[in-house]
Amino acid sequence: MDPLYLPKSLTINGRDIKINTDFRDCIAILRLLEDPVLSNLEKVQIMIGILFNEELDFSEYDEALAQAILFLDGGPGTDNSRHGPSYGKLYSWEQDLIYILSGVDKVLGFSCRTKNYMHWWEFLTAFMEMGECTFSTLVHQRKLKKQGNQSKAEKEWWAENRDIAELDKKALLTSEERSALDKFNKLLGE
């Protein structure tokens, strides 16, 4: 994958396989990966089904998964590994999508949703260049809260905007944790 070109296929076991590169397909994958109900195997199977235009043999899944992750991350040279402290999950493609789209639209100067097609890497580039917008404010406020560094004004902001600022806790649980929580709530009569 050359960052000067927008890839339309990925090489799996020496053969080029066309992929769905529209940003909508890739966001569908990222939203799917947040689904706490699905197992990791189910997530991989569905992701491969969405991204690749042909059915893959199960023996190709490891390489397909590695290539898919590299593609979704923006290709080689995009070092998305964490340096410094980790603050955990600061945003959700499911919960924050409207704010993400708004920020991307601001960078692009037009609504990406009005386009019949936009390559994922074009969308991702705009996503990475988002400046001051509602989405960046949400991420910043969540980071401050996790650090325990909120000022009085920021605590007031959080209280006023809790409905959009608080990440959905249930969506962050594994299927086992969700099941345990559901059993507990059932005992409480909820």
Question: How confident is the model over 75-96, as pLDDT tens digits?
Answer: 876 655 555 567 788 999 999 9
H-helix or E-strand containing 27? helix 23-33
| Percent of the chain topping pLDDT 70 | 84
pLDDT digits (tens, 9 = 90+) for 35-44: 989 999 999 9
Q: Is the dihedral of CA 109, 112, 115, 117 positive or negative?
A: positive
Q: Which tokens hold the place of 9?
A: 């296929």
pLDDT score for 189: 59
pLDDT digits (tens, 9 = 90+) for 100-154: 999 999 999 999 999 999 999 999 999 999 999 999 999 999 999 998 888 999 9
pLDDT digits (tens, 9 = 90+) for 2-26: 778 899 999 999 999 999 999 999 9
Evaluate whether 158 touches 165 at the Cβ level (below 8 Å): yes
